[in-house]
Structure formats: C-alpha cells, structure tokens
Structure 1
Amino acid sequence: MTHGVLWPSDSLDFESKYLTTIKDYTLMKKIINFYRQHNLYGEFSNFYQAHIEINGSIWPTTEHYFQAQKFPNNPEIMKMIQEAETPGTAARLGRSRSFPLRKDWEQVKDGVMLDALRAKFTQHPHLKELLLKTADACLVEHTRNDSYWGDGGDGSGKNMLGLLLMKLRSELEENSEWVVC
C-alpha cells in the first residue's frame, strides 16, 4: 500500500499541484541522470534495446511501442513503426506529422508511456532490479532536447519520463511510499 502519495490516482498531471521545477525539488536528494542508452543508467532510456510484449505484440523497444500508439487507427503506420530498424527511426516516424495523430494523444500519452515502462521493467528482471536499486534517488532524463519527457537540460523541464519511472519503482516495491524528489 502506498501512503503519502503525491500522484493522484485519477490523473498523471500532478506537477502543477505539487512540483515547481526539478531544480527546486532535487536539491537534497541523490540524482541519477540518464539519457543515452549506452551510458550509465542508459537502461532507463526508451531507446534501450529491451523488447516488450503488450497485447500479444512484440515491440523492439519502449520507443517503438510508444510512437506506434499515436496511430491506433492506422495499422500500416503502426506496423511500419514496429518494424523500424532502430528506435531513432521509430521516433522519427512517430513524430512525423505526415500521418494523422490520434485526437486524444495529449490526454493518453502519459498512460501509454507508463504501460510501456511497466512492460519493460516487469518483463526483464535485471531491469526491474536496476530500477529498484535506485532506492529513493531522483531519476532525471537529462537532455536539452526535451522539456516534457526530460528536464530541458537545465532543470526547467517536466521530466515526465523520470517521474513515471519513480512512480513505477514505487509500484514495484512492496509497502513503499512514493517520495517525490
């Protein structure tokens, strides 16, 4: 059971209520930065090569799955993304506005990401162990390339990927509290 949770069960959009910036809430916690899949803690990157199975389909990476979910009404585009040779190619295809994006994407994207992360860290025991070993550290996708999923490079971003990983870490621990860093 979780106590003192700062994550409303009905919404993934809590930062406006509880958080200001990464700089404000990381001052007193251990921070683990991650970004590139080949660097330290690169396993937390969506580009890290760890296949996942969701609803009977195998996806090469969480990035492949996430990008494909933007187009649930277009199986051809989903298949093209699923079969993309690299996660970078999958990301480029998913970010292309040549294809019509699902109308509710902004409302569902955090949940889609959390589903992908749950699959990744429950289907690969070594990744689950790595995530749990981070204990109460603040996990930060440190990149100036993304101020929604990452920290914007200077701590001004939302760091949603890091926040979702910390939420998942809490779920995977028995009788734990989810502590916001």
Structure 2
Amino acid sequence: MTIYFYGSDEVPYGCFSNFSDHGLDLDGQWWPTSEHYFQAQKYVGTRHAERIRRARTPLRAAELGRDASVPLRRDWERVKDDVMRRAVDAKFRTHADIREVLLATDDERIVEDTTTDNYWGRGRTGTGKNMLGRILMRTRSRLRVDFADAR
C-alpha cells in the first residue's frame, strides 16, 4: 500500500505536510512550521530569513521564500535536501503525537501527492522524485530505532 498526503488538514496524514501546525526548535530559534524553516534557510543570515521566520502562515513563508527578487544562498541546490531532512527530523522528534502517526505507517511507501512539484512530490506524471516522501520514510526508520524503547 502507498500512503498519499498533501494538505495539512487531511486526517491522519496531514501532519506530513510542511504546512502542518507543528513548530520546531532548530539552530537556536523557534520556527512555526517546517515550511518556515525550510524557506528561511534559502536566505540564512539575512533580514529576509527573519521575515520568513516571522511570517503569519506557512503559505506566506512559502511565498516569501520564492521571491525571485531576493538572491538565494549560493549552495542552496547542494544543501536543500539536508535542510529538509533536518526540519522533518526536528518536527517529528518534537511532537510525540505525529511521531506516532509516522511510526504507525510501518513500511508503507509515503508519497507527497502533488502534481505541481516533480522534485519534492510525485509530479504531474506520477514519476517525480518524491524527495519529501523519501525523507519522511528515512526519518521513520531513524525514529523507529531511536524511540524503540518508548513504544
């Protein structure tokens, strides 16, 4: 079986979305969502990054993070997967309730069901890289080991 997710309001898997209302503490700061963290890292060390962190919603953080008039950090393409990995890991380590949802997926394949993103999701043709789904599955494996005694 494959688990498809997209919207943060979908039950029970909306928590897999970077827009889900699950804040995290990373790099010495509190981030309202993993979307806020991810988008801000494109401009780390700038005022724009702080503007993204303070955005009222994850959608606004995403919009600010896609502002083509603000230059991205030079190494973004090289580090973006690791940035996403760190955000997802922190989110699921912080919140026991959604950690349990992720762990309860056993070994099911997890896919971000978006037709508009061929990199983070499955894309229009269904053959996208699904990097967010892959990161979630990798995170699940690590959490299974790290929280084995707690279950």
Q: Per the shorter chain, which TM-score range?
A: over 0.9
Give the counterpart letter for 2:66 in structure 1: R
Matched, 1:48 2:28: no
Paired residues for 1:102-117 under 5 Å: 102-117=73-88
- Name the % identity: 50
Give the counterpart letter for 1:127 in structure 2: I
TM-score normalised according to structure 1 size = 0.78
Which one of 94, 98, 123 corresponds to residue 65 of structure 2?
94
How far did 1:117 drift? 0.4
Paired residues for 1:68-87 under 5 Å: 68-74=40-46, 76-87=47-58
Q: Specify the alignment match of 1:57 in structure 2.
A: 29
How far did 1:73 drift? 3.3
Q: Bigger CA drift: 146-155 or 113-122? A: 146-155
Q: Could you report, residue by residue, the CA deviation over 1:75-123 in whole angstroms, capped at 9, with x for unpaired residues?
A: x111110111110110010011111100100000000000000100000
Helix, strand or coil at the partner of 1:70: helix
Q: Specify the alignment match of 1:21 in structure 2.
A: none
RMSD (CA atoms): 1.1
How far did 1:153 drift? 3.9
Matched, 1:159 2:130: yes
How far did 1:148 drift? 0.3
How many equivalent pairs are there?
145
Helix, strand or coil at the partner of 2:82: helix
Report which of the two structures shows the higher radius of gyration computed on alpha carbons: 1
Q: Specify the alignment match of 1:12 in structure 2.
A: none
Say which structure is richer in helix: 2
Q: Specify the alignment match of 1:132 in structure 2.
A: 103
Structure 1 residue runs without a partner (length 5+): 1-29, 176-181
Q: Specify the alignment match of 1:146 in structure 2.
A: 117
Structure 2 residue runs without a partner (length 5+): 147-151
